[in-house]
Structure 1
Amino acid sequence: MSHAQHGDAPAHHGHGDHDGHSHDDLASEAEGADLLDLDGDVLRTYWDAALDRVTAALVSSPADEQGAPARVVDLGAGTGTGTLGLARRLPDAEVVAVDVSELALARVDAKARAAGVGDRVRTVVADLDAGWPDLDPIDLTWASMSLHHLADPNRALSDLRRITRDGGLVAVAEFDEPLRFLPDDLGLGRPGFEGRALGVLSAVHAEVLPSIGASWDEVLREAGWTVVDEHDVVIDERSPDHPLAGRYARAWFDRLAHGLTDRLDAEDHRTLEALLDDDGLHGLLHRTDLHLHGVRTVTIARR
């Protein structure tokens, strides 16, 4: 269950069977991993704000009276932005990166060793739709953009509660507003392209990811957790201030193209092709009018 970039990419839902990959499957998975890496780099301000708040809540929780947190889990770890952030902030804890993708977890392992925390980071390949691996007791679980990929998030959270230490926490980060990149007028096609594309994407998600848009505080309470904090983290990154913003936007819209081109009208399809044309006037890699903005909501609950 890779934590998809901003939770709204149309590919790699992350809880299926990865045996017998075709070449195209592996290429798509590698592209998804690249997208996750770019998310961690470009949205560093968001990641720092969210993880700072979560770890502050952990060290002030009743579980900390038993000593420093011993085990934290990055659920749907993807390529490890959360894993490494937790390892840096909690120097005495073992951090367990859980994901269905062996390719993504290989990146986590390599990053952890390069950062000098490889002795405290462990990777576990698991499909939570089939049940939790043996990880108890857990002090903190960080679930970033991953729970909405599960077939039954309520069951997974109930199971997680049973293997969490008394006073331990779960922190769920999901998007409140999908990330946006583009101005309304692109200088080609009809104005409002991105809004229409996101509307099509929302319809696709309603078909295959019914938990998207869930009220996660309610889901957590139904699973037996006590919600202690909920806050919005606003994403507001302007290009060209970040050198990777264009690559991030291009990777995102390339994923969009894989899943939605047959659902866009002809003019919007041409607009998307122009945005992905690296040699063209309107290509995403060269635009100076990108503005990455959106909202992710972090909900923290205690066992």
Structure 2
Amino acid sequence: MTQAHQHTPHGHSGQHGGHGHGQAEILDLDAEVLAEHLASITAWLPLKVEPRQIVDLGCGTGAGTFALLERFPETHVTAVDASVGHLELLCEKACARGVSDRVRTVQADLDTSHWPDLGTPDLVWASALMHHMAHPDRALRSVHGLLAPGGLFAVVELDGFPRFLPTDAPEGRPGLEERAHCATDGFHAEHVPHRGADWGPMLAAAGFAVEGERTVTVNIEGNRSAAVGRYAQAGLQRIRGAAAPALSPEDLAALDELLDVNSPHSILHRDDLAVRTERTVWAARRA
């Protein structure tokens, strides 16, 4: 994502400034829970040959970086993020996995017009980054200039933040989760205007040939992964700040009860959770 995380209540993976441990935790949970879907996206990419050099823009704590290293065993990845803390975590993981010789980290603010030297990659990957850019058109042109001729740019975006609760939950305040998300719409309209955008026309305007677009539906039952409860807890905690001013006192009290790990009604005790969202990927070639 981007340093837009300084002003967004939640995010998924990216060039995030300033949220510290909470943001890193949500990125790690995102990577763990959605790993299978990420692998299916890297497998789908229309690549003619295995890329030798990849740049992961807004890498966060490394979900995309490690998915790409696994998919392409000969490749090297340059992982770029605004957060020093996220890059340090990524380096620790690379060491633990024995792939630190295949990873280079670069701390950079991608919303500036002057990017650092990132080499000449065959593949540039940007997951949950582009909708946070203050100047997405400029960023797209920067990627176009970065890529090797014939190189591929993969833009991956989530359709908003995942939903976790059944629609009739919680008891007494059914539909609470959807109302909490609606309560953040004004915040997002102001701070993240490109959320949910169709990147195809913008990629074409920046000089890319869009070769494919695919939407992956995510619906992971809570019993498939112990991390789903923690992911739901972290996700709802993240949107609470932006949602609180627009929620009724009854809804806010119900939300706080869900988020209270000591409450018998804590979201961590529920057995009816699921992760529901969509991911869309655009594959664009530099002609």
* TM-score band w.r.t. shorter chain: over 0.9
**1:51 corresponds to which of 38, 42, 55:** 42
Conserved 8 A contact 2:181-2:239? no
Match status 1:102 vs 2:84: yes
User: Post-superposition shift, 1:239?
Assistant: 1.1
The 1:3–1:83 alpha-carbon spacing in structure 2 relative to 1, beyond 3 Å, is farther
In the TM superposition, 1:5-154 aligns within 5 A as 10-11=9-10, 28-54=19-45, 57-58=46-47, 60=48, 64=49, 68-130=50-112, 131-154=114-137
Q: 2: CA distance between counterparts of 1:279 and 1:95?
A: 42
**1:226 corresponds to which of 197, 209, 214:** 209
Normalising by structure 2, we get a TM-score of 0.92
Give the AA of the match of 1:149: H
**1:159 corresponds to which of 139, 142, 145:** 142
> Share of identical aligned residues, percent?
42
Report SS of the residue matched to 1:220: helix
Give the AA of the match of 2:184: L
Note the residue ranges of structure 2 that are not aligned, 5 or more in a row.
Answer: none
Give the stretch that moved more between structures: 145-154 or 169-178: 169-178
Q: 2: CA distance between counterparts of 1:229 and 1:47?
A: 16
Give the stretch that moved more between structures: 188-197 or 156-165: 188-197
User: Post-superposition shift, 1:263?
Assistant: 2.4
Match status 1:196 vs 2:179: yes
The CA deviation string for residues 94-141 of structure 1, in whole angstroms up to 9 with x for no partner, is 101100000001111111111111001011001111132211311101
Q: 1: CA distance between counterparts of 2:88 and 2:9?
A: 23
Which residue is equivalent to 1:21? none
The 1:235–1:256 alpha-carbon spacing in structure 2 relative to 1, beyond 3 Å, is same
The 1:262–1:247 alpha-carbon spacing in structure 2 relative to 1, beyond 3 Å, is same
Q: Aligned-pair RMSD on alpha carbons?
A: 2.2
Normalising by structure 1, we get a TM-score of 0.88
Give the AA of the match of 1:85: A
In the TM superposition, 1:253-292 aligns within 5 A as 253-292=236-275
Conserved 8 A contact 1:4-1:78? no
Q: 2: CA distance between counterparts of 1:203 and 1:243?
A: 33
The 1:45–1:275 alpha-carbon spacing in structure 2 relative to 1, beyond 3 Å, is same
Conserved 8 A contact 1:188-1:271? no
Give the AA of the match of 1:161: H
Match status 1:235 vs 2:218: yes
The 1:12–1:53 alpha-carbon spacing in structure 2 relative to 1, beyond 3 Å, is closer
Report SS of the residue matched to 2:173: coil
Q: 2: CA distance between counterparts of 1:177 and 1:210?
A: 12
Which residue is equivalent to 1:22? none
Note the residue ranges of structure 1 that are not aligned, 5 or more in a row.
Answer: 19-24
Which residue is equivalent to 1:181? 164
Report SS of the residue matched to 1:210: coil
Q: 1: CA distance between counterparts of 2:117 and 2:285?
A: 20
Q: 1: CA distance between counterparts of 2:246 and 2:15?
A: 24
Report SS of the residue matched to 1:183: coil
